[in-house]
């Protein structure tokens, strides 16, 4: 129900505000895999909100857990004070992390978790007497949030330009290759050599100056760009060989999106840190986390004098009790309903088959998928001199489905509770929208 006089006061993020306010899309209610507009229309949420509502919308268990926690312990400072639910949540989380990633540093979002991971990497190098290792390596077309560290290692030009000097970084090339890998089902077979570009960067900067490499196992906001088979393992080998930390940004790929709790598990590659957010609380209460290898944590602890603060970093809302309650209830659902592995089964196969059926649309030049994430890319110039994504997103919404626009691509990451009839609805809406626009 409308309780505001105008749309003017809210400066919306990552939005063409003038276009939106001329033709607003207002969501009033959510349930399951659907959103409902202020006009009463049902919209299939094929993006899980913003890559985050993995267990589906309006889960009663999560809402009730939030309410109970807010009445019992709504907030207490995380600086030199603690609360039971924060320690409980951390212990539950590391039951799902690979290797020795047994320490959890809480933040409030993916952006802040990335900043935290980068600062942990730098603090670790200082703690072991290698302060000269301060440079960071990101990747083209990567998205690592919008804080200064994140946009520095990120590789999306629009997010970087206009904000002045950034951190000392360099970037690996992206792995998107339509010439050799178009219409790959799952991980593409070609471009493994792109991982060897890290050796070239190491020769240029020297390993003695590089603190860490950070990559998304699958680039989300860049257009659902998958790593070639063996690519992540090669990065791991090179980082180990040259004494460089490897960080996986799993804000999108974590919590069942690919068919395992984390891409690190799915692809059998253990990084030194994993960045997490979004699905960690089903997107309902903001919370981010960095999962850190024991050895990194221990070195930072041991390098500080007894009684001193070991790491001068944190947030007012780190490990917020209400957010932890939402996270625990979310984990209960994931574990009880088998959602962390569901994308690797029959529904993931149906997703792949259905998305790839769209390759017969004349303007489609690629379909990419893994687990329950995917993208369709259209030919350059298919919509005149403008990228087609934004127009496709708007028209698809009019046809009853919410998708993401990424340049000439459209991207999808539905709730992990999606069923075959919902996938059919998505494919039908894409076909209808393509017929209207092209």
Which stretch of DSSP H or E encloses residue 424?
helix 420-437
Per-residue pLDDT at 1 exceeds 70? no
| Inter-residue contact 250 to 262 (CB < 8 Å) | yes
CATH for 64-337, among 3.40.640.10, 1.10.357.10, 3.30.1490.120, 3.40.50.300?
A: 3.40.640.10
Under a CB-based contact definition with an 8 Å cutoff, are residues 136 and 168 in contact?
A: yes
How many CB atoms within 10 Å of residue 25?
16
13 Cβ contact list (under 8 Å, min separation 6) = none
The residue among 283, 269, 270, 415 whose CA lies nearest residue 342 is 415
Question: What would you measure as the largest C-alpha separation in the chain, in angstroms?
Answer: 68
- What pLDDT does residue 428 have? 98
pLDDT averaged over every residue in the chain = 97
Let me know how long the chain is.
Answer: 438
Write out pLDDT tens, residues 134-152.
Answer: 999 999 999 999 999 999 9
Q: Is the pLDDT of residue 48 over 70?
A: yes
d(C-alpha 138, C-alpha 152), whole Å: 8
pLDDT in tens, 399-408: 999 999 999 9
CA distance 331 to 339: 10
pLDDT above 90 for 97: yes
Give pTM, 2 decimals.
Answer: 0.97
Q: Residue 80: left (phi > 0), alpha (psi -120 to 50), or beta?
A: left
| Tokens, residue 94 | 């590391």
* Distance between CA atoms of residues 192 and 214, nearest Å: 17
| Confidence label for 423 from pLDDT (cuts 50, 70 and 90) | very high
Share of the chain above pLDDT 70, in %: 100
Angle at 185 between CA 387 and CA 262, to 5 degrees: 90
Retrieve residue 237's tokens: 């080998």
Domain boundaries, the chain: 17-59+341-437, 64-337
- The string of pLDDT tens digits covering residues 346-363 is 999 999 999 999 999 999
Fold match between domain 17-59+341-437 and domain 64-337: no
d(CA 122, CA 138): 15
Classify domain 17-59+341-437 at the CATH class level. alpha beta
Query: Cα separations (Å) of 301 from 243, 296, 308, 397?
Result: 20, 9, 9, 51
């Amino acid at each position: 129900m409308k309780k505001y006089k105008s749309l003017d006061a809210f400066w919306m993020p990552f939005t063409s505000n003038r276009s939106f306010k001329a033709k607003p899309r207002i969501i009033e209610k959510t349930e399951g895999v659907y959103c409902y507009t202020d006009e009463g229309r049902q919209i299939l949420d094929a993006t899980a909100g913003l890559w985050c509502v993995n267990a589906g919308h309006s889960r009663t268990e999560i809402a009730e857990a939030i309410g109970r926690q807010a009445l019992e312990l709504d907030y207490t400072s995380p600086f030199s004070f603690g609360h039971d639910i924060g320690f409980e949540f951390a212990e539950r989380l590391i039951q799902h992390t690979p290797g020795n990633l047994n320490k959890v540093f809480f933040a409030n979002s993916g952006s802040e978790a990335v900043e935290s991971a980068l600062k942990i990497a730098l603090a670790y190098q200082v703690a072991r007497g290698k302060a000269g290792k301060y440079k960071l390596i990101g990747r083209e077309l990567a998205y690592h949030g919008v804080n200064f560290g994140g946009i520095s290692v990120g590789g999306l030009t629009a997010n970087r330009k206009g904000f002045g000097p950034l951190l000392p970084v360099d970037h690996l090339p992206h792995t998107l290759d339509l010439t050799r890998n178009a219409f790959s089902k799952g991980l593409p077979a070609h471009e493994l050599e792109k991982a060897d570009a890290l050796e070239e960067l190491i020769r240029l900067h020297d390993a003695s100056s590089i603190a860490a490499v950070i990559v998304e196992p699958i680039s989300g906001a860049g257009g659902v760009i998958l790593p070639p088979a063996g690519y992540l393992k090669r990065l791991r080998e090179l980082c180990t060989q040259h004494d460089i930390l490897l960080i996986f940004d799993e804000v999108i790929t974590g919590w069942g999106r690919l068919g395992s709790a984390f891409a690190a598990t799915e692809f059998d590659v253990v990084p030194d840190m994993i960045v997490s957010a979004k699905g960690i609380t089903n997107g309902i209460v903001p919370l981010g986390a960095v999962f850190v290898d024991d050895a990194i944590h221990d070195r930072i602890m041991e390098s500080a004098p007894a009684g001193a603060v070991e790491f001068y970093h944190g947030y007012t809302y780190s490990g917020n009790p209400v957010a932890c309650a939402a996270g625990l209830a979310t984990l209960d659902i994931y574990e009880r309903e088998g959602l962390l592995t569901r994308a690797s089964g029959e529904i993931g196969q149906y997703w792949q088959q259905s998305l790839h059926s769209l390759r017969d649309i004349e303007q489609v030049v690629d379909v990419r998928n893994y687990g329950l994430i995917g993208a369709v890319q259209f030919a350059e110039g298919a919509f005149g001199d403008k990228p087609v994504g934004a127009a496709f997103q708007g028209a698809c919404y009019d046809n009853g489905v919410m998708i993401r626009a990424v340049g000439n691509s459209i991207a999808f990451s539905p709730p992990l509770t999606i069923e075959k009839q919902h996938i059919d609805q998505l494919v039908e809406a894409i076909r209808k929208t393509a017929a209207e626009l092209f």
